[in-house]
Amino acid sequence: MTNLAEKLDFSGHTISCGIDVHLKSWTVSLYLGKQYLKSFVQSPPSVEGLWNFLSTNYPQAHYECAYESGFCGFWIQRAFAARSVNCIAVNAADVPRTDKGTKNKNDRNDSRRIAEALQAGQLEGVYIPDPELEADRQLVRLNERYSNDLTRSKNRIKGLLRLMGIEIPQRFAKANWSRAFVAWLKEASCGEPSIRIVLDRQLSIMEAIRTQKLDTLREMRKLMGKARYHTISRLLCSIPGIGPVTAAVLIVEIGDISRFEKFDRLNSFVGLCPMQHSTGENDRKGSITTRQHRRLRYMLVEAAWVAVRTDPALTICYSRWTARVGSRRAIIKIARKLLSRVRHVWNDRAPYVTGLVK
């Protein structure tokens, strides 16, 4: 008896595969051109298992896959690419959806939407960093996590002091958690023994996080000393407001600056542009866009506050814009100008000249 699979030949055809990725299973939908084929659940999820299914049931076809980027990172894309399968990770917000689809959302419908948009050529994949850059990105992001954890730990300690009515001496009223302030916390009278235990435990946690953060900063310094990053890091630090940590974040999050052909595309990626609503003769620009790269936008706004104090050109710009649109919008304009300087320095491979308005 002849095996049916031996008779099948999908040469010249494209199988579009939309994958709705979850931890314990994948929901997969298949399209042959514009024709919907089937949906199924693959559990446990496996690139090799899906590849075997496609090559067995649709031999000799050209395969293309898409999934929403998220918690699973980019290893799925790399695993398919190793098998010469065109696979893209897409921003979930870029997958077209109807009002009906929004009101009837489930894994099967989600995977089918991805596959349908993929075969129609409506999807554009996000930037996939190489494994080294992705690993270095996680190290730089670890510093941010430690910063957040450290802030939470300090807030818990001060919250406990307020709760128990323990007053902080006036000399530490504006304390920046110096050694003297921490030493006072360790010796402060807490009344009940249990409060002393709680405070000591919280201080121990805070000091452990601080130690880990300092070690991470040292590792980041070594990282930026690598040949791949050293030159760009030094050039970015020549821009007023951009320090070593901000430069490191910019480098690992942007990766390849040449993928942004124009400044507008980079500005849109970071999220420093306004939302726009145009219809007919009406053209209205709203507040800053809600679509953003959260880390980059936050770091650039923080850098902008430093820049307006250290760069005379930006000080003048900020003063003039504040009088016109207010301080909040003015600082966004400064952050946008900083981003323009970053792109200029990065592309030209030349240090920034202080006082140059660009």
Residue 357 belongs to a domain: no
Residue 87 belongs to a domain: yes
The verdict on 38 and 97 lying in the same domain is yes
Residue 19 belongs to a domain: yes
The verdict on 106 and 146 lying in the same domain is no
Worst-scoring range by mean pLDDT, 167-181, 240-254, 323-337?
167-181
Question: Residue 52 has what pLDDT?
Answer: 94
pLDDT, tens only, 34-80 = 999 999 999 999 999 999 999 999 999 999 999 999 899 999 999 99
Look over the chain and give the mean of its residue pLDDT values, rounded to a whole number.
92
* Domain end call among 88, 119, 150: 119
How many other CB atoms are there within 10 angstroms of residue 229's CB atom?
18
Residue 334 belongs to a domain: yes
Band (101; pLDDT cuts 50, 70, 90): confident
Question: Residue 173 has what pLDDT?
Answer: 80
pTM for this entry: 0.89
* Domain end call among 61, 90, 119: 119
The verdict on 114 and 154 lying in the same domain is no
The verdict on 104 and 15 lying in the same domain is yes
Angstrom distances, CA of residue 141 to CA of 12, 225, 268, 284, 297:
44, 17, 22, 36, 14
The verdict on 114 and 161 lying in the same domain is no
Residue 89 belongs to a domain: yes
In this predicted model, which residue has the larger pLDDT, 190 or 119? Answer: 119
The verdict on 144 and 206 lying in the same domain is yes
Distance CA 42, CA 30 (A): 13
Residue 248 belongs to a domain: no
> How would DSSP label each residue in 10-49?
-TT-EEEEEEEE-SS-EEEEEEETTEEEEEEEESS--HHH
Looking at the structure of the chain, the number of domains it has is 3
Range of the domain at 322: 257-279+288-348
The verdict on 186 and 97 lying in the same domain is no
pLDDT, tens only, 159-184 = 999 999 999 988 888 768 999 999 99
Has residue 2 got a pLDDT over 70? no
Residue 25 belongs to a domain: yes
Question: Residue 3 has what pLDDT?
Answer: 55
With a pLDDT cut of 70, the percent of the chain lying above it is 95
The verdict on 197 and 172 lying in the same domain is yes
